[in-house]
Chains A and B, each alone.
Chain A
Amino acid sequence: MTAANKSFVDSSVDVGDIELRVPAEARYLPIIRSLAATIAMREDFDLDFVADLKLAVDEACSMLAAAAWPGTDLRCRFRVADDAIAMQATALSTVEGLPLDTNSFGWRVLTTLTDSASTRVEQVPGGYRVLIELSKRGPHPADPRMGGA
């Protein structure tokens, strides 16, 4: 493992987190969104939640792939809570094109589809790391509020 790769490895992965790393290119995005949909579906969130999460993850990862330095990875980590799914996605980038534009239509798409979305840039050896964090809450079936409607 090269030094550059090493610097990109994050500190810790919590037990229960699901992580996927793919080349930061558009053609790998279907793999990430399928994973997002599969996680949400198997947690028994409703189909609107599943579809929205899938769109949101697709949008976030598209932004990161567009900002990523060629030949680097895109990393996505999903965390499941009782009534929510959170995703943190990161890519390595140069300073151009950063930070991501949160007034863009794409960002509006993200915020409409999720309950929270944020982005930040961290300096790492040899470049910058750009992150998008989003989380989406749903009326989880385990939640007594569900039931009626």
Chain B
Amino acid sequence: MTTRARTKNSYEHLAPLFVELAALAEDDPRRTELRDELVTGHLPVAEHIARRFSHRGESNEDLVQVATVGLINAVDRFDPERGTDFLSFAVPTVMGEIRRYFRDSSWSVRVPRRLKELHLAITAAGNELSQQLGRAPTPSEIATRLGMTKDEIYEGLEAGNAYHSVSLDDMLTQDSDNTSLGEMLGEPDSAMEGVENHESLLPLVRELPERERTILLLRFFGNLTQTQIAEKVGISQMHVSRLLARTLQKLRDGMLEPE
């Protein structure tokens, strides 16, 4: 952690590492080492950018974590061959990540910190219990797990309604490689045969982001439960639920629009 002002020059010593990294084979163990070094070395950049957003009401730790995710993405995607320096590539990437965080994950109404934390604790306990039980837990099972009263759990679950999306965990996993999932499903076209006016529905479904489309197809054509989908896609059941609600709304709105 450092807060002292840095100039561009303080990162210059890291530049050769990118060249070295790019030259290594995919499975070279040295890659992880270099990647860590590059991320750690550039952390002050992430911290600096996070601070610029600190007046918006999200906690500083959360912002720094989000910015770090952006930084990791930037390190992974940066191509030293292109001739631009890393900072001019990384800054917009990190800012983009933070903006996305505000867009996707902000609470739509002011929710006290205590309730946000309660909601996160419930999400975590819910994930664990689903793993153990092989199905979604009930509110009373969550209460037992967390040593809380059922009323507290109700309160926390209801607070979740004010939450637009995602926990940090969800964010960290959303860029994970789930192409195999997409391949497994095949084209939406065949799945939707037999649904009336699927001609007007299909273009809307194709326009959905891949993850939303996958979740929609798994729930309504694959007959998986939300908990099973959550496990496959690597996000929480509550997040699946929010994404599904949003997707169905989008489809309903889209179907109403004149051709």
Contact = CB atoms under 8 A, between A and B. Distances in A.
Given A52-B226, A105-B195, A46 B220 contact: no
B238 interface: yes
Interface in B208-259: 219-220, 223, 225-227, 237-238, 240-241, 244-245, 248, 251-252, 255-256
Given A45-B138, A51-B226, A105-B198, A34 B154 contact: no
Interface stretch (A1-9, A35-43, A72-80, A85-93): A35-43
A149 B126 contact: no
A108 B220 contact: yes
Interface string A36-77: 011001101111111110110011001000100000000000
A42 B220 CA distance: 26
Interface in B122-163: 126, 133-140, 150, 154, 157-158, 161
Given A34-B161, A104-B196, A104-B197, A49 B136 contact: yes
Contacts of B121: none
A41 B198 contact: no
B251 A48 contact: no
A15 B252 CA distance: 35
Interface string A125-149: 0000000000000010100000001
A106 B252 contact: yes
A52 B219 CA distance: 10
B216 to A, nearest CB: 9
B43 interface: no
A52 B244 CA distance: 10
A48 B226 contact: yes
A55 B248 contact: yes
Contacts of A139: 135
Q: Identify the interface centre among A50, A52, A101, A105: most chain B CB within 10 Å of its CB.
A: A105
A62 B198 CA distance: 19
Given A48-B225, A108-B195, A41 B157 contact: yes
Contacts of B172: none
Contacts of A42: 139, 154
B14 to A, nearest CB: 45
Interface string B29-52: 000000000000000000000000
B185 interface: no
A55 B244 contact: yes
5 contacts: A46-B137, A47-B226, A105-B197, A109-B248, A149-B134
CB-CB nearest 9 A-B residue pairs? A103-B196, A48-B136, A51-B241, A149-B134, A47-B136, A46-B136, A46-B138, A44-B138, A48-B225
